[in-house]
A and B are shown apart, each in its own frame.
Chain A
């Protein structure tokens, strides 16, 4: 910035030996020399305003990039904040509108309603309770639009919707209390599956040629069984249809539901009391906190990824801000000195800059907010479909607050940067000229074997590394936001992920619910048959019981213990080993955390009415059943059995899908699934959503890298115009010079990719686990080691294809940007 106020003789840094580092664009100097009277008319602030405008015009590239980055960061920040608030709002809205129970117990077999009523009447905390009959239909007897549901791991049950409490809601969130006979309302998860739509037919078959066709009248949201990971689904029908089907097929279960006065404080005690009282409990018991976790997990993960990307963009934005500020300050250094010399207060000087950056940040924040608000519906499409929307003012307030927060961070950062202006003294600024010369390094051209231009590029990066730091961070961040979501997605999609779902490497998994006295025999029959089958190599039959234990605070708690021989088809333990015999136990990481123990301690567990001290010999991760499970081999005969699981490893060459189908039919109502199918169905859309998020962030990363490379290359070429002119003058050809610039940027890229990849595999993995910890145990389990998932990396994708894409884009952008080399001529130095 050349000011008129500058005394002509002083201004020119005519050091004859070196070219001047910052070439002005022709013309800018002249524009500055306006009519002095017009300046006076505009007053001091008019002058400042013109300084700002001129500055923005001169550094158009960097200003544009800065605004773009700040805008992107605000946009993703507001969009993710908006998504989270909508997610939480919509899920609690759904819970409220549906009047979801606080505690629900699924019970199979005999059900004595008066007994439950009597017990509940004696409990002061119970505000209301009711039981709902659920008629479980085996997948083999159920067809959606002609498609048999044998392969589905979902447990589908016919119900008559409640008239009050625990309501099913239609897609407008209105209660569905009555179903026309002959029709059925399916859970929203099935909408669109195999093209399923209103008007299609659901067929239920049974023994002796029984067939019942029901027409789909609509789809319903179910406040407690919505997501894929909740494996039960409620299909609403009319009472007459339910009775008709019940007479011919199906398994009767009851869902016993309780509403408490104060669920937050009473839930834990109530559950214990219910179980101790010997109330019906042949099945899992869940509370509203669990429904909510299961409901938000998938979209919560996506929102977390977006928040991560937006935070990283903010970091890059801040760096870019600092860079832009230093560039402007370097250009204005002398003018600042002049202003100070003629008596302008430092405060006024700072105000000029503050005005400039606050204005830019303000514009970017506003644009970002608008962009973020329009991006939110895209991110919340799933949420809206499964849960509807809750229209609260928070949907708007939170994103606006997020944008405001980022704006404040940006302005505060400028204030910190501005402190450096206090140190500029008028004398130093006038005499020294440019802020700093590059430091001499010991790297020498004449001792090198490398190609000249490659060497020159390398030397420049070494000599001026602070200049390249911004680019390095950009490349590292780009690599990070490209690799972390991709690795998260490949991890969740990898076959090995079942290890974190509490099961070892098996080919098939057979699930059998404990429904009545016949269940142990059914289980025994399945085991017997598997043992006789030559195409089955190894089986690991497990019986899960519910046992009493105590938690870290000494309170009674119950634990699901999977009993069997854990030496067969073992899973990988996070710590320790598999339990052997009835005196050892392995706990899931979350259960371990809850018990307050470590591997090597002893845990008191009630077995057959006696307290046994079991030594904890191992820990493993299990994201199923709310994350809290255990493994041992305790006697199960007199215990309350919850469910049976049999892991199966097939003999080499056996046809897994044929066997799955065959056993599926033969062992019904046991669920037989090949493990891949089980994994993908249990995780449901979560893994898929992660894949989408990975794709989006890879694109964001590449765009970010391209944008910043273009900006940086232009800045570098403008700044080096003098050096380029000299090299061309002494005979360096343009291709060689282009090679030099490519070397500089690719060298920084390679370093950035290395830094980013290392960070992705350490920090990124840590963040992925934090996400699980937060989602399963809330704040108190954060960073407690309750999630220890190792990234399962697809090396071709993560370490070859994606970096190659980045490399390709950066190379093309650099090559395109370096065209200006051909137009840089030595005579341009004359006007310096």
Chain B
């Protein structure tokens, strides 16, 4: 990928928790329209990478540029606005607001951004929920839906402001393989429509559907594999090749 089209450009990204360094001066460039998966053992810093590269968490050292703009130069308010309008985030544990019904959870970022009349935003939310198959749950409480359904609500919330980049932290981790495949179909479609996606997963089958795979150990990128776009065919073949590559990394 060339610098000209880079959406994200991280240099020496370092994150320390109470003297324990989780990200060790990591460099990463993400091009527009890429579909990247991040893999690595538990505790290797995958979630932390997503949080810091998106400006959600404050890094300890290093720099991140988003669309050519240094995140460190932005005020807290500008940073929040940037996250709100151009980034979408799907969390490992979904993290919905439990006081709100499911539809409210989806529309909240849109209301915060306030870029269109509320009726229109409600409509857009309902359209997203129809597309992900959870429209009939709109008025339900967070405690009245299954894990898979909540994960889809999380996706709708991430998409409501039509972000240019989507960060997903194990969006399929809690789902069975059929549900996981459905989610991956949706993400694939979005990527085809032009959304850049960065996705954390433990599942090689999921990673096989992305075009680039990063492998993290102890907060360092130890492997970076470009495997070409997934066109819906040769999935088993891609999976096999990736598994072999992963075994190499693990050594």
Contact = CB atoms under 8 A, between A and B. Distances in A.
A449 B118 CA distance: 8
Given A723-B99, A736-B112, 11 more contacts: A16-B93, A444-B104, A456-B99, A464-B99, A727-B108, A729-B89, A731-B82, A732-B84, A825-B58, A827-B51, A829-B93
A445 B147 contact: no
Interface stretch (B138-146, B187-195, B200-208, B225-233): B138-146
Nearest to B147: A16
A822 B94 contact: no
Contact of B95 (A726, A734, A825): A726
Given A731-B112, A733-B81, A437 B76 contact: no
A18 B109 contact: no
A728 interface: yes
A730 interface: yes
A529 B227 CA distance: 118
A532 interface: no
B89 to A, nearest CB: 6
B100 A16 contact: no
Interface of B: 17-18, 47-48, 51, 56-58, 76-77, 80-85, 87, 89, 91, 93-101, 103-104, 107-109, 111-114, 118, 122, 125, 139, 141-145, 147, 150, 157, 161, 174
A452 B51 contact: no
A830 B89 contact: no
Contacts of B87: 731
Interface string A800-832: 000000000000000000000010011101100
B101 A444 contact: yes
A730 B84 contact: yes
B109 A731 contact: yes
Given A730-B83, A730-B157, A825-B57, A452 B112 contact: yes
A559 interface: no
A542 to B, nearest CB: 69
A433 to B, nearest CB: 13
A17 B113 contact: no
Contacts of A822: 76
Ordered nearest first, which 4 A-B pairs have the shortest CB separation? A731-B84, A733-B80, A445-B104, A440-B141
Q: Which has the most chain B C-beta neighbours within 10 Å: A16, A445, A728, A730?
A: A730
A452 B109 CA distance: 10
A578 B112 CA distance: 67
Contacts of B82: 731
Contacts of B122: 446
A734 B112 CA distance: 12
A566 to B, nearest CB: 65
B99 A731 contact: no
Contacts of A829: 93, 95
A460 B99 contact: yes
Interface in A12-41: 14, 16-19, 26
A17 B142 contact: yes
Interface string A413-445: 000000000000000000000000110100011
B96 A17 contact: yes
Given A452-B112, A734-B80, A18 B174 contact: no
Interface residues of A, number: 39
Interface string A520-538: 0000000000000000000
5 contacts: A17-B150, A731-B161, A825-B56, A826-B56, A827-B48
Given A17-B142, A459-B99, A463-B99, A730 B109 contact: yes
A727 B56 contact: no
Contacts of A825: 51, 56-58
B104 A446 contact: yes
B80 A731 contact: yes
B57 A437 contact: no
A735 interface: yes
A20 to B, nearest CB: 9
Contacts of B47: 827, 830
Given A17-B150, A726-B95, A731 B85 contact: yes
Contact of A732 (B18, B89, B95, B112): B112
A726 B96 CA distance: 8
Contact of A723 (B76, B80, B97, B107): B97
Interface of A: 14, 16-19, 26, 437-438, 440, 444-446, 449, 452, 456, 459-460, 463-464, 722-723, 725-736, 822, 825-827, 829-830
Q: Which has the most chain A C-beta neighbours within 10 Å: B17, B84, B99?
A: B99
Q: Which has the most chain A C-beta neighbours within 10 Å: B93, B118, B174?
A: B93
B58 A731 contact: no
A601 B142 CA distance: 70
B104 A730 contact: no
Given A17-B150, A446-B118, A729-B89, A437 B143 contact: yes
A731 B113 contact: yes
A17 B147 contact: yes
Contacts of B85: 731
A31 to B, nearest CB: 14
A733 B112 CA distance: 9
Contact of A446 (B18, B58, B107): B107
B40 to A, nearest CB: 15
Contact of A734 (B57, B76, B93): B76
A441 to B, nearest CB: 8
Contact of A19 (B77, B84, B93, B100): B93
B142 A826 contact: no
A722 B96 CA distance: 10
A446 B126 CA distance: 11
B243 to A, nearest CB: 27
Nearest to B82: A731
A83 B58 CA distance: 58
A17 B145 contact: yes
Given A730-B83, A732-B112, A16 B174 contact: yes
A452 B83 CA distance: 17
B21 to A, nearest CB: 14
A446 B51 CA distance: 28
A735 B77 contact: yes
B153 to A, nearest CB: 9
B121 to A, nearest CB: 8
A440 B101 contact: yes
A26 B81 contact: no
Nearest to A459: B99
Nearest to A463: B99
A822 B77 CA distance: 11
Given A445-B104, A827-B51, A730 B94 contact: no
B93 A445 contact: no
B111 A452 contact: yes
A825 B47 CA distance: 13
A661 to B, nearest CB: 70
Contacts of B91: 729
Q: Which has the most chain A C-beta neighbours within 10 Å: B76, B98, B104?
A: B98
A725 B47 CA distance: 15
A445 B108 contact: yes
A699 B128 CA distance: 55
B94 A826 contact: no
A26 B174 CA distance: 26
